Every structure is written in C-alpha cells, then in structure tokens.
Amino acid sequence: MEPSRYNAREAERKWQKIWDESGSFRTRNDDPRPKYYVLEMFPYPSGRIHMGHVRNYAMGDVVARFMRARGFNVLHPMGWDAFGMPAENAAMQNKTHPATWTYANIATMRAQLKSMGLSLDWSREIATCDPAYYKHQQKMFLDFLAAGFVDRKKSKVNWDPVDETVLANEQVIDGRGWRSGALVEQRELTQWFLKISEFAEDLLDSLEGLERWPEKVRLMQRNWIGKSEGLSLRFALEAADEASEIEVYTTRPDTLFGAKFLALAPDHPLAAKAAERDPELAAFIAECQRRGTSEATIETAEKRGYDTGLRARHPFDPHWLLPVYVANFVLMDYGTGAIFGCPAHDQRDLEFARAYGLGATPVICPPGVDPAAFEIKDAAYEGDGTLINSRFLNGLSSSAAKEEVAKRLESVKLGDAPQARRQINFRLRDWGISRQRYWGCPIPIIHCPTCGAVPVPLSDLPVELPQDVSFDQPGNPLDRHPTFKYVACPRCGGAARRETDTMDTFVDSSWYFLRFTDPWDVAEPTDPRAVRHWMPVDQYIGGIEHAILHLLYSRFFTRAMSATGHADELREPFAGLFTQGMVVHETYRAVDGTHLAPSEVRFETGPEGRRAFRLADGSPVEIGPIEKMSKSKRNTVDPDEIIAVYGADTARWFMLSDSPPERDVIWTEEGVQAASKFVQRIYRLVEELASLAAPRDAPIPNQFSPAAMDMRKAAHGALLRVEQDLSRLRFNRAIAQIYDLTNKISAAIGNIDSEQVPADLRHAFREAADIFVRLFAPMMPHLAEECWARLGHKTLVCEAPWPVADKSLIVEDMIGLPVQVNGKKRADLVIERDADNAAIEKAALALEPVRRALDGKAVKKVIIVPQRIVNVVA
C-alpha cells in the first residue's frame, strides 16, 4: 500500500479556516482562568514579512499555544508599527500616498502572517497610523504636558540633511543618520521633549527587579542611563571682574591636588565671553563647533585646547592658580560643561597635559606600589589607591579622600553658597520627540502669538493628518499645508499656527502593548481595569536591536501613563523578555564579484567538499561568509515561497530547531528539507499508530508487558522534558526530544507482529500517540490537528489540555550507574534503585572491567553519588 502524503497546503488552509470559525484564539477579558500575556514586537509594515519575522512569531506562537494548553487565558495580539519614513520615501518615489502604501503593505503582511497559522487574536489588531489609535496618544501627550512630563526647549539637535529631520542621539550611529546614512549636522531648534531623565533613578533601580530579562539587556540599559555620583564644585577666578567662578563636575574629588588645569566646553558661556576679546579663541571655538559630533569619530579625537588667559584658584589654596582652557573634548551637555583636569589619573587629561606641557603629579598611589617610585608614564592611573602629594589627604584611601574633600568643601562658602555639593549625574538625556515629518502622530499644539503654546482642546482630538499632501519637494508637507497649519487660537481666537512637527515613531510603540488590553475603548487610551488584569506582559519576544531605545522608552511611558491615570499602578511593562537571534544565510558571489541569490546557484558535494555553480551558465560561484539576510547581499529567502513549497509547519519547525533561540540560526536548504521530511514521517507514523492504537474509550488494562511499559515510559519521559524545555523557551531541545520520541515509537512499531497486537500494547500506543501529537502541536499546529483528527478525536488539539505526565512511570526499578576508577569511566552497573551503598560498592568492585582497571591495587575509597555515579579511588 502506498503511504499517503500529507498535503500541507491544503491542510493548513483547512485548519486555519476552522480555527477562525471556531474563534479559538479570541480572548475575552472576563475569562476567569489565570491570565498569560505573550507578545512579540509588532512589525513595521515594510511590504512583506521576512524570515526574522517567521522566527520571532513562531516562538511567540509556541509560547501562546503551550500556555493555552496548560490552562491559561492567553492574550496574544498583533498590530502594526505603521508610522515612519519609508512610507514617505515610497510616496516620493511612486507618487502613492503614505497611507495607501502602508495599508496595502499591512494587507499583504496580514495575509502572510495568517498563512503561518499563528494563534493570534486578530480582533485586537491595531495600526498606529489609525486616528483611532493616535487620538489617544495625543490625549496622553496633553496629559503628560499637564503633569509636567513634557518640555519645550531650544536645543542643539542632530539634523539629518538627507531626511531633513531631527534625530535622537540614539538614532545617530557613527555620526550618521541611522536610516539615511547621511552625515549628521548640529542645529539649534526648539523641540518637544519627554522628560525621561526625571525617571532616570527609578528606571535604573528597577532593572534589578527584572529577573526574567537577559542580563545583557539590563547591563546595556544601565550603561545607557549612566549614573555617576560626584561633586559639583566651584572654582573662584583670579580676576573676579566679570564672571567670578567656574563650576565643574567631578567624580574624582580625591584627585583635586593633582589638578593642573580647568577646561571648558567650546560652547560654554564663559568660553564665548572670553572669545569676545580674543579673536583667535573665537576661531578655535568655531572650528570645534564645525566639527560637531559627526567628525569626532573620524578625527581620532586629538586633544586640543586654547588658553583663555583666565586663572582659577585651587579650592584648598587661594595662591595656587590653574590655567583655564577651552578644550575640544569637553562636552557642554554633560555635568556643567567644565572640568578640572588631573593628568595623572585621567587618560584624556593626560593626553591634553602632554600636548600643552602642563605636567602630571600623581596623587593616588596604586595598592602595593612604592609611592616614592610611582610615576606616570604613558598611561594615567585611573584606579583607586592611597593618597600622596595631597597635603592633609595623604595616607587616606580614595574613598575616604573623596568623602573628606566633599565634607570640607560643602562647609566652605564661595559667595553665598557652599563651594561644593554632592551631585548625581545621569548620561540619559530627555527624549526629543519632534520630527519634521508628515507620516507620524501630529503633536496636538497650536502656537499663538499672544497665548503661547496652547493645547488642542480634547473635543478637537484627534488632530488628523490631512490627506491632500504632496511629496514633490523636500521637507515636511504639513509645514506648507494652508488649512492644517494656519488655524485660530483655541484660547483667544486670534490667528495662530499649528505645530507641524509630528512625534518620533518610538512614541507609538511605547504603549501599544497597553492598548492591546482593551483596544476597543473609544473614550480612553486604556481601561485601568484591563491593564490591571493583563499587565505586565508575561513574555515579550523580539530582537536585541531594541535593547535600549524601545524598551527604555516603553518603561518610561508606562510610568508616565501610571502617573497620569492611564496604566493603573503599573511601572514595569515587560516581566519577561527574550531576545531572539537573527536568521542568517550563506552569501554567494559570481566570478564578476556580484552577489547571487540562493535560487541562482547549484551545488555539488564531492570528496573535495561542497562547491557551487551558477545555474545560468555553469560558471563557478564563490561561497561567501554566512551573514544576516539582507537584500543587498541577496541572501534572503522569501517566507511566502517557503510556505508555498513546504508549508508553514515546516518553516516554523525549522526556525525553532537546531540553534538555541537566542543565537543566530543558519537557514539552509538541507535544514528545511529535513524539517519537511519529518513532517511526512510524523504523518506516516500517526497513520500507523491510528491503526494500532486502542480505541479512546477502551478500558485500561490491569497489566502492561515490558514492551508496553517501555512505550509508556518513553512517552511520559518525553512529555516531561518537552514541558520543561518549552517552559524555558528552549525550543531546540524540545524538538530534539520530539525527534527522540519519534524514533522510539518507530522502533516499537517495528518490533511488533502487526497481526496480533495485544491489548496492553494497543493501549500504550494510544497513550503515546495522544501525548506525541500534543507535544509537537505548539510548533506544528496544522499537522497536529490533522493527526489529532486521524487518531479519532472530535475536538481541536489547539483547545486540548496539555497531557499530564505520570512521574511514577519514569522511576525505574533497576537503574544504571556508571562506575569510574580514579575518575575514568570503566563500566556500567545495573542495580536495584534502592540498593544501599554497601551493596552498590560490592557489586561495583565485582565488575570485571573495574577489577581489570584496579589491577590488584588496594581500594582507598569508594564515592557513591546517589542515583548518579560510583567512583572507585585506588
């Protein structure tokens, strides 16, 4: 008889329709079961899904289906991060409206995701470009404004000259715009800011509690927030005619007696003042500013400065005068924009001092080093130690000296205030959200010449994007739109101008997970009851590229929403975070050096290894390095094609097998084919099982033969291990267990006389089959439904409960104990599980290989680790 073939295409369509019609994945907020919220980072609707999406959403779906089977009320929603610049670029290129382009992409990608068979609650779908969504975002912006979380200030911004927009610091990579790649310029603009820095302390401290986050991500956030504890310290100036002092920030007050100079940022007000009477200094400052941040990395940061002629008095010695420089390496927007330089204990200061002949007196002696012999050569000593050359501080430790300096200077007055105060600084800056773009959420503000920045009245929300715009010139079309831009002031009715900047799209994604809890609410962004019920997200899954920005902004947003009554008492949005690896693929290069797509290459595997040839003309092809799938390298694989050829289950299975989920997975043709073969193998196996298994309602036999027991043990053992692995998101290991069980079932079937299968064995097969199908159902849901039905079930496997492992079956009467002699394994001992140590020792020593290894030597000791191992020490 010809074994039947599983037709994935047909079956997948069929089961997707059935799931849809039965509403299996629709989630109700009033369901009494315990909740579980699993979420994958929602996609940007770029056009089509890629393999990275397949991997990400396959993982989330396994978690969703697994937790559903384990009795949880699972929330597993999907939406679209739909605002952003590609839509405008497309508009410019193809003369399509951004909305048209975006919604067409959403339609395509929704269909693609549906073809994957994801157990999503599509009734909660949201798109951030929908006025029904961004209306709430505008309301929250106004609430934040009222609560004091919003700031409008002039600030130096990163200006992307190609995209003609402002970029956040985080969006500038190596001095270039993260999207356009253009060199970023510095410009001064008035911008809207969200005051994330006010939450810096809490955002930092709360990282401790995020135990189910990768340590790596927590560390990255910690560094990004960049807390430092130090002293804000004022130096009096020798000539106290105009500005009388300079305030610096330092984390090393213990090195104060090693100070050789003060340095100001080029854009420090005092620098500008000094430049008024010194044209050369003005020229130096101008040069520093011209370089800006963009070239800082290109110029290997040579330390340069210019002496202002000012002299500052040392806080502990009014006769000790320090030169004041303007230096290119001092940043205006960190600390006070001024530093004191201690060349012996700061590498930058040392380089600077060497260039200008300022000397370097060591004041901290490293532990275990003779102070008399200690000198500074090429490297500053930045560690802690014992104070030297520091008058009253000599002999103190760094930390005691810091404390002493702080204490003394706190109690000394300079002018009306203490000369120093302890200060905590953060690297984290406020979040500039203004973007000079059309396709984003409008900022609901109207600028009135008499009333200032006036919030748009709630009744006028949403401020909708006008449809009639054109992209045939650069810049923001909102800024030249007659009726959008020119409006009456809501307060005085006079002629006013609407804010034409839109919000950074990271704002949109900073609260979508909250919106999912009750996306139907038209009046409010969220229903606090729904938030209380569903939040936090139990398992969030996405790419490591969002380790800082998206996750930090979301953590901030959640706090700000709580403070304004939109998120109950919630502070942390994501209890569990998992960052999955990328999908990578080999690259191929033709003789002319151009990249070739996998479909253009043919392979030959011979004794000399694997070689590749171009399909078109048979010319040799160089197999290049394995890299992230990208259009430019042409090493992408289209999920649509894969699903069309092999089916969604195969694609999902392959994406989860082999590589641990946090690591990159290599897409190979062999790998998909192996997955596809396994799908067929399962189908055939279940077909056999269906004919061998006892009916579902057959009575349980009183006794099981050894063969039947083996089958039962294999099934329950696999169940236990798969359960454990899936709980920890170790999909690759769960899959290995399923392969293993498959092999065991096949072997068991191969060993029987199919004419006469005893009832107990039939029962064991029934039990194993029902377990087996449910084990792979989270990964290959369509195939599982098909198999479940073939096994005679009338229910859906996606609604079936997870099987319960019978642990008593796993416990063996006889156990195998490896026996070592002097740490080397020599034999296996099979013995009763409850044998005592004396019996084990006796049996172990009696084993032939053990005696041979001992070779007559006296046994000194026998170490027995219960249920584990025996080690004979001779």
| Residue 191 in the binding site for RNA (CB under 7 A) | no
| Residue 747 in the binding site for RNA (CB under 7 A) | yes
Please provide the DSSP assignment of 682-728 as one string. Answer: HHHHHHHHHHHSPPTTPPPPS---HHHHHHHHHHHHHHHHHHHHHHT
Select from 139-147, 518-526, 664-672, 693-701 the region that touches RNA (CB under 7 A). Answer: 664-672
Select from 102-110, 121-129, 655-663, 787-795 the region that touches RNA (CB under 7 A). Answer: 655-663
Q: φ and ψ at 723, to 5 degrees?
A: -60, -45
Select from 160-168, 660-668, 777-785, 838-846 the region that touches RNA (CB under 7 A). Answer: 660-668
Residue ranges in 158-187 that form contacts with RNA under rule CB under 7 A = 169
Here's the x/- map for RNA, 506-545, by CB under 7 A: it reads as --------------------------------------x-
Q: Residue 634 or residue 826: which is nearer to RNA going by CB?
A: 826
Q: Residue 229 or residue 460: which is nearer to RNA going by CB?
A: 229
Among 816, 830, 832, 836, binds RNA (CB under 7 A): 816
Pairing mode, strands 609-614 and 824-832: unpaired
* Phi-psi group of 120: left, alpha or beta (phi > 0 → left; psi -120 to 50 → alpha; rest → beta): beta
Q: Residue 556 or residue 654: which is nearer to RNA going by CB?
A: 654
Q: Residue 76 or residue 730: which is nearer to RNA going by CB?
A: 730
What single-letter amino acid sits at 110?
Answer: R
Angstrom distance (rounded) from CA 709 to CA 299: 73
523 Cβ partners below 8 Å, 6+ apart?
A: none
Considering only CA atoms, which of 354, 322, 377 is closest in space to residue 362? 377
Q: How far is the CB of 861 from RNA (least distance, A)?
A: 6
- Report CA-CA distances (Å) from 215 to 546, 577, 578: 14, 10, 11
Among 357, 482, 823, 856, binds RNA (CB under 7 A): 823
| Residue 808 in the binding site for RNA (CB under 7 A) | no
Select from 387-395, 511-519, 688-696, 864-872 the region that touches RNA (CB under 7 A). Answer: 864-872
Angstrom distance (rounded) from CA 478 to CA 480: 5
What single-letter amino acid sits at 335?
Answer: G
Angstrom distance (rounded) from CA 288 to CA 305: 10
- Tokens 């025996």, residue? 870
DSSP state, residue 804: P
Q: Where are the beta strands (DSSP E) in 104-253?
A: 126-127, 150-160, 165-167, 172-173, 176-177, 185-194, 227-236, 245-250
What single-letter amino acid sits at 691?
Answer: S
Q: Residue 141 or residue 306: which is nearer to RNA going by CB?
A: 306
Q: How far is the CB of 208 from RNA (least distance, A)?
A: 16
Q: Would you say 559 and 199 are in contact if contact means Cβ atoms under 8 Å apart? A: yes
Q: φ and ψ at 159, to 5 degrees?
A: -105, 125
Q: How far is the CB of 675 from RNA (least distance, A)?
A: 8
- Report CA-CA distances (Å) from 713 to 516, 702, 779: 42, 16, 23
Q: Residue 700 or residue 863: which is nearer to RNA going by CB?
A: 863
Helix or strand holding residue 840 (H, E) = helix 837-846
Q: How far is the CB of 340 from RNA (least distance, A)?
A: 7
* 3-class DSSP assignment, residue 195: coil
Considering only CA atoms, which of 480, 472, 631, 437 is closest in space to residue 94? 472
Q: Would you say 440 and 133 are in contact if contact means Cβ atoms under 8 Å apart? A: no
| Residue 630 in the binding site for RNA (CB under 7 A) | no
Tokens linked to 362: 């060591």
Give me the count of residues in the chain.
Answer: 874
Residue ranges in 298-327 that form contacts with RNA under rule CB under 7 A = 299, 301, 303
Helix or strand holding residue 632 (H, E) = none
| Residue 640 in the binding site for RNA (CB under 7 A) | no
Q: How far is the CB of 816 from RNA (least distance, A)?
A: 5
Residue ranges in 705-744 that form contacts with RNA under rule CB under 7 A = 730, 732-733, 735-736, 739-740, 743
Q: How far is the CB of 74 from RNA (least distance, A)?
A: 26
| Residue 139 in the binding site for RNA (CB under 7 A) | no
Among 663, 696, 833, 842, binds RNA (CB under 7 A): 663
Among 473, 483, 605, 702, binds RNA (CB under 7 A): 605
| Residue 348 in the binding site for RNA (CB under 7 A) | yes
Select from 125-133, 151-159, 658-666, 793-801 the region that touches RNA (CB under 7 A). Answer: 658-666
Angstrom distance (rounded) from CA 777 to CA 66: 8
DSSP state, residue 468: -
| Residue 602 in the binding site for RNA (CB under 7 A) | no
Here's the x/- map for RNA, 390-429, by CB under 7 A: it reads as -----------------------------------x-x--
Find the angle CA(154)-CA(155)-CA(160) to the nearest 5 degrees: 125
Tokens linked to 242: 């105009």
Strands of the 261-264 sheet, one edge to the other: 305-314, 317-327, 261-264, 338-341
Tokens linked to 581: 């690896």
Select from 200-208, 568-576, 645-653, 847-855 the region that touches RNA (CB under 7 A). Answer: 847-855
Q: Residue 250 or residue 361: which is nearer to RNA going by CB?
A: 250
| Residue 828 in the binding site for RNA (CB under 7 A) | yes
Q: How far is the CB of 415 from RNA (least distance, A)?
A: 22
| Residue 551 in the binding site for RNA (CB under 7 A) | no
Tokens linked to 380: 């500053």
| Residue 846 in the binding site for RNA (CB under 7 A) | no
Tokens linked to 482: 């007659």
| Residue 680 in the binding site for RNA (CB under 7 A) | yes
Q: How far is the CB of 405 from RNA (least distance, A)?
A: 12
Among 131, 226, 418, 624, binds RNA (CB under 7 A): 226
Among 92, 396, 548, 690, binds RNA (CB under 7 A): 548
| Residue 811 in the binding site for RNA (CB under 7 A) | no
| Residue 830 in the binding site for RNA (CB under 7 A) | no
Angstrom distance (rounded) from CA 121 to CA 60: 13
Angstrom distance (rounded) from CA 264 to CA 244: 15
Q: Would you say 566 and 57 are in contact if contact means Cβ atoms under 8 Å apart? A: no
Q: How far is the CB of 543 from RNA (least distance, A)?
A: 11
Q: Residue 400 or residue 736: which is nearer to RNA going by CB?
A: 736
Q: How far is the CB of 322 from RNA (least distance, A)?
A: 14
Q: Would you say 728 and 662 are in contact if contact means Cβ atoms under 8 Å apart? A: no
Residue ranges in 239-298 that form contacts with RNA under rule CB under 7 A = 249-252, 265, 293, 296-297
Q: Residue 272 or residue 487: which is nearer to RNA going by CB?
A: 272
Q: Residue 211 or residue 697: which is nearer to RNA going by CB?
A: 211
Q: Residue 618 or residue 823: which is nearer to RNA going by CB?
A: 823
Residue ranges in 461-500 that form contacts with RNA under rule CB under 7 A = none
| Residue 814 in the binding site for RNA (CB under 7 A) | no
| Residue 666 in the binding site for RNA (CB under 7 A) | yes
Cβ atoms within 10 A of the Cβ of 190, count? 13
Total residues at the site for RNA (CB under 7 A)? 84
Q: How far is the CB of 678 from RNA (least distance, A)?
A: 7
Q: How far is the CB of 762 from RNA (least distance, A)?
A: 21
Here's the x/- map for RNA, 325-344, by CB under 7 A: it reads as ---xxxx--xx-x-x-----
